[in-house]
Structure 1
Amino acid sequence: MSQQNSQVCPWCQMEITWDEELGPEPNCPHCFNELSDYRTISIPTKRDAAIAFDEEQDDDWYRYSRAAEKYLDAQDDVPECPQCQEYMVLAGETTVEAGAFAQRPALAPLPPFLTAPFRLDVFVCSHCFTVQQRLSQKDRAAIVRRLGEEQDD
């Protein structure tokens, strides 16, 4: 009976099991990268050595990050940025007045989906500074209530 050996692919970290009689795989069956030593370097490290990449405490980005974390901690709703998946800070609210909003015509017999004035929550990504707007919680509840009442009639 042949013995099975295994190794871990340095590229995708998947375990590869191979038969001792056939020898090791030349390519990873998961990511198809070469498994030879040609493109792999090994860096010996001491197990008890702590590697720390601390930010400078007087760095502007460090101070900004700590302040942004405080804003995020104070929020009930913390959406993720659509660009970088970091958390977004609720920066404020903007009101859309009737003259600045062209609503879609209502579908008979329903009322218009959204009518002005309404408020938008403005979120700013704490990492890449992408800005995103979302209908305020109060106005979301008003739409649900208004359209739900129309369906009851």
Structure 2
Amino acid sequence: METTICPWCQTEIVWDEELGPEEECPYCHNELKGYRTLNIALGSEEELEEEEETQEEDDDLSLWGEHDESHLNAIRRVEAFAADGGDLLAYESGVEKVLDRQDEVPECPHCREYMIFAGTETLGAEFKPASPGGLREPLVKTSAKLNVYVCSACFHVGRFLSEDDRNALIRTVSES
């Protein structure tokens, strides 16, 4: 009897000599003869350093090929905090403690880090509520409250309707 190990699931396959080798693994059903390996030839250290520098330059560019200065400036501020003797580890653990106590933890739309609840804000007289066609009331009242969040990494500020005002918006739209 011939024994082979499946390259996909690492299971030992024992074949019957009369039937011969199988073309497919009986456990994971992957093709045994179609398994391909990838060989990577490493160049000299100089070539690797050049590739790393090119990759770093590419990482600094946004999707549109422009520098994302706001995110880079925020990173520089955090690094400046550390350079002035600030303890980044203490900052990160403090952020974790604050996030653990929050009911809602939205993600920052810029860097995907979690945002810290900073307070509430009330829409004022400057806010002009819209009443889309077919609705009897405006979507959001001028007295609506916004929850304000700050990203702990890039310091982006985000505002979201409070829970009560979200429910009011849902009722307004669904009653139309």
The number of residue pairs the alignment matches comes to: 106
**Distance in 1 (alpha carbons) for counterparts of 2:135 and 2:148:** 33
**Distance in 2 (alpha carbons) for counterparts of 1:87 and 1:70:** 12
Instruction: Summarize the Cα distance change of 1:17–1:76 in structure 2 as closer, same or farther, 3 Å threshold.
Output: same
| Counterpart contact for 2:119–2:148, Cα < 8 Å | yes
**Distance in 1 (alpha carbons) for counterparts of 2:158 and 2:102:** 16
RMSD: 2.8
1:66 paired residue among 86, 93, 96: 93
Map Cα deviations across residues 28-59 of structure 1 (whole Å, 9 max, x no partner): xxxxxxx3322569xxxxxxxxxxxxx9xx84
Shift of 1:67: 1.3
Shift of 1:146: 3.1
Structure 1 segment 5-44 matched on structure 2, within 5 A: 17=36, 35-38=40-43, 39=47
Aligned: 1:87 with 2:114: yes
Q: Could you say what secondary structure the match of 2:36 adopts?
A: strand
Report the counterpart of residue 116 of structure 1 in structure 2. 142
Instruction: Summarize the Cα distance change of 1:74–1:109 in structure 2 as closer, same or farther, 3 Å threshold.
Output: closer
Instruction: Summarize the Cα distance change of 1:145–1:108 in structure 2 as closer, same or farther, 3 Å threshold.
Output: closer
**Distance in 2 (alpha carbons) for counterparts of 1:76 and 1:124:** 15
| Counterpart contact for 1:111–1:147, Cα < 8 Å | no
**Distance in 2 (alpha carbons) for counterparts of 1:80 and 1:109:** 31
Q: Give structure 1 stretches of 5+ with no counterpart.
A: 1-5, 7-15, 19-23, 26-34, 42-54
Paired-residue identity, %? 35
- When normalised by structure 2's length, the TM-score is 0.52
- When normalised by structure 1's length, the TM-score is 0.59
Q: Which amino acid aligns with 2:95?
A: A
| Counterpart contact for 2:150–2:156, Cα < 8 Å | yes
**Distance in 1 (alpha carbons) for counterparts of 2:155 and 2:126:** 25
Higher strand share: 1
Instruction: Summarize the Cα distance change of 1:63–1:37 in structure 2 as closer, same or farther, 3 Å threshold.
Output: closer
| Counterpart contact for 1:96–1:118, Cα < 8 Å | yes
Q: Which runs of 4+ in 1 moved over 6 A?
A: none
| Counterpart contact for 2:145–2:161, Cα < 8 Å | yes
Higher helix share: 2
Structure 1 segment 120-135 matched on structure 2, within 5 A: 120-135=146-161
| Counterpart contact for 1:96–1:116, Cα < 8 Å | yes
